[in-house]
Amino acid sequence: MADIQTAKGVRDIPPVEKALKNKVVNVLTSVFELYGFRPLETPILERYETLSAKFAAGEVSDALKETFRLTDQGERALGLRFDLTVPLARYVAMNPTLKMPFKRYELGQVFRDGPVRLGRYREFWQCDVDTIGSTSMLADAEVLAVVSRVFSKLGLDVVVKVSNRRVLNGILVEAGVTDCERAIIAIDKLDKIGVSGVSKELSERGFSAKQIEGIFKFVKEGVSLKELQKGVKNAEAVEGLKELEELFLYLNSMGVTNVLFDVSLARGLAYYTGTVYEAVLRNGVFRGSLAGGGRWDNMIGNFMGSKLQVPAVGVAFGLEPIMDVLKMEQKVLGESVVQVYVLPIGVVQEGLMIVEQLRAKGIPAEVCLGKKGVSKNLDYASALGVPYVVMVGEDELKQKKVKLRDMKTGTEQLLTVNEVVKKLK
């Protein structure tokens, strides 16, 4: 086989990186469960009909265009899931007796046959937390508390920008804008290109000077809920502001202090219906979103083709950007899973007994499996980043001790196995 490679747009996660990923996943899932979210696993293979149903009413989305399609031996049309939301909607629709609220989380691979560029893969992980079946702002507050606690446990100083789609929609309507989606695409860039940039783009998109003035009357950096409540008249916006007020009341009770109102936050996706939010580093080199979500009350009902609304609110964490930031901020170094490498010198069986003693105490330990010399073995342990090496030969055995080498400093100590356990624990 001349040409050994991965498929285009996918990659292997080597051990050091996968160990870090596992750590992040453990933090995430432990917080999710702390807040009463339960794990769900949906399959990667879905009927193509299911994947395409979401969009039956609206335009064909990018995600659907990028769906990997395949058939099974019965010529059934299948696809690889492109997100975890459609499978969730299908699961809820298939299980009408599900107790509500249904609070679930899911982590797993999703697939998009799109253009490949740096940091964008055709197979990547999503990590979703959602509460289905509650219209209460308590559910929104809880999801935001999860976001806040996840990042605090990861040691990242994050601010969560929050708004409500109805506030921006109402302001736009009040400003005489009819095609809100088109305006929002420009407003979404306020962070990056400022008022003048957005004004220019709105003007290019055909909005009048009066409309643009109407928009920037309220859409400005640092505008508070209170100011808007005094100024904005539109009924939809007033409703949205009321929800935000209730949300902040609950967040306050929960001790969540890093959520800030940001009127310009729009989030691209058309399906959000109320609260929207996005977590970003407070002072970071990385400006992108680490987590984002909101309320999406219409999608499950639409999916089921029913007039019934099935309310939902949730958040998706970006595993890849979170890992990139942790690596940049060196919050989590690529640590070795293995704490000690045991190297028996001529006393294999005694070496095995010692390594088993260490493992029995819960210390991840590796033992020499080859016949190479001491220096080659030290090279191996060093290359894998194992912090300690235990060496044991006839001399040490006579003294009922082992030699413990600190791989960072190179110092060696003669210790009993119990002393080694104490040092490594």
By CB under 8 A, what part of segment 191-250 binds its own copies? 249-250
Q: Which burial class, exposed, middle or buried, applies to 132 when counting CB atoms under 10 A from its CB (0-12, 13-18, 19+)?
A: buried
Pick one of 21, 182, 242, 401: the residue that binds its own copies (CB under 8 A).
21
The first and second tokens of residue 281, run together, are 């580093």
Report DSSP state, residue 7: P
Residue 169 CB, nearest approach to its own copies (Å): 25
The first and second tokens of residue 88, run together, are 């969730």
Q: Is 393 in the site for its own copies (CB under 8 A)?
A: no
Pick one of 118, 285, 308, 369: the residue that binds its own copies (CB under 8 A).
369
Pick one of 24, 28, 78, 228: the residue that binds its own copies (CB under 8 A).
78
CB neighbours of 268 closer than 8 A, spacing ≥ 6? Answer: 185, 188
Pick one of 206, 222, 370, 410: the residue that binds its own copies (CB under 8 A).
370
Pick one of 194, 346, 362, 373: the residue that binds its own copies (CB under 8 A).
362
Q: Is 278 in the site for its own copies (CB under 8 A)?
A: no
Q: Is 117 helix (H, G, I), strand (E, B) or coil?
A: strand
Q: Is 60 in the site for its own copies (CB under 8 A)?
A: no
Question: Which residues within the stretch 138-167 sit at the binding site for its own copies (CB under 8 A)?
Answer: 138-139, 141-142, 145, 149
Q: Is the peptide bond before 101 cis (omega within 30 degrees of 0)?
A: yes
Q: Is 119 in the site for its own copies (CB under 8 A)?
A: no
Q: Is 36 in the site for its own copies (CB under 8 A)?
A: yes
Report DSSP state, residue 120: B
Pick one of 27, 28, 50, 274: the residue that binds its own copies (CB under 8 A).
50
Report DSSP state, residue 96: T
41/213 with CB nearer its own copies: 41
266/326 with CB nearer its own copies: 326
Pick one of 181, 227, 356, 394: the residue that binds its own copies (CB under 8 A).
356
Residue 419 CB, nearest approach to its own copies (Å): 20
Instruction: Report how far residue 107's alpha carbon sits from residue 317's, in angstroms, rounded to the nearest whole number.
Output: 10
Pick one of 24, 63, 64, 131: the residue that binds its own copies (CB under 8 A).
131
Asked whether the beta carbons of 310 and 296 are under 8 A apart, the reply is no
The first and second tokens of residue 317, run together, are 């964490």
Residue 186 CB, nearest approach to its own copies (Å): 30
The first and second tokens of residue 103, run together, are 């609070």
- 416 to 245, 360, 367, 402: CA distances (angstroms): 63, 16, 18, 6
Stretch that binds its own copies, among 88-96, 157-165, 232-240, 395-403 (CB under 8 A): 88-96
Q: Is 22 in the site for its own copies (CB under 8 A)?
A: yes
337/407 with CB nearer its own copies: 337
- 204 to 36, 110, 188, 207, 425: CA distances (angstroms): 48, 36, 15, 7, 64
Pick one of 193, 348, 374, 414: the residue that binds its own copies (CB under 8 A).
348
Q: Is 375 in the site for its own copies (CB under 8 A)?
A: no
Conformational region of residue 3, where left means phi above 0, alpha means psi within -120 to 50, and beta covers everything else: beta
Instruction: Report how far residue 173's alpha carbon sits from residue 237's, in angstroms, rounded to the nearest whole number.
Output: 9
Instruction: Report how far residue 100's alpha carbon sits from residue 97's, in angstroms, rounded to the nearest whole number.
Output: 9
168/378 with CB nearer its own copies: 378
Pick one of 333, 352, 374, 414: the residue that binds its own copies (CB under 8 A).
352
Q: Is 122 in the site for its own copies (CB under 8 A)?
A: yes
Question: Which residues within the stretch 93-112 sit at the binding site for its own copies (CB under 8 A)?
Answer: 93-95, 99, 101, 103-104, 109, 111
CB neighbours of 122 closer than 8 A, spacing ≥ 6? Answer: 7, 8, 9, 10, 68, 111, 112, 113, 114, 116
Q: Is 294 in the site for its own copies (CB under 8 A)?
A: no
Residue 256 CB, nearest approach to its own copies (Å): 9
Residue 386 CB, nearest approach to its own copies (Å): 8
Residue 16 neighbours by CB distance under 10 Å: 15
Instruction: Report how far residue 316's alpha carbon sits from residue 142's, in angstroms, rounded to the nearest whole number.
Output: 14
The first and second tokens of residue 392, run together, are 């044991």
Residue 258 CB, nearest approach to its own copies (Å): 15
Q: Is 305 in the site for its own copies (CB under 8 A)?
A: yes
Q: Is 270 in the site for its own copies (CB under 8 A)?
A: no
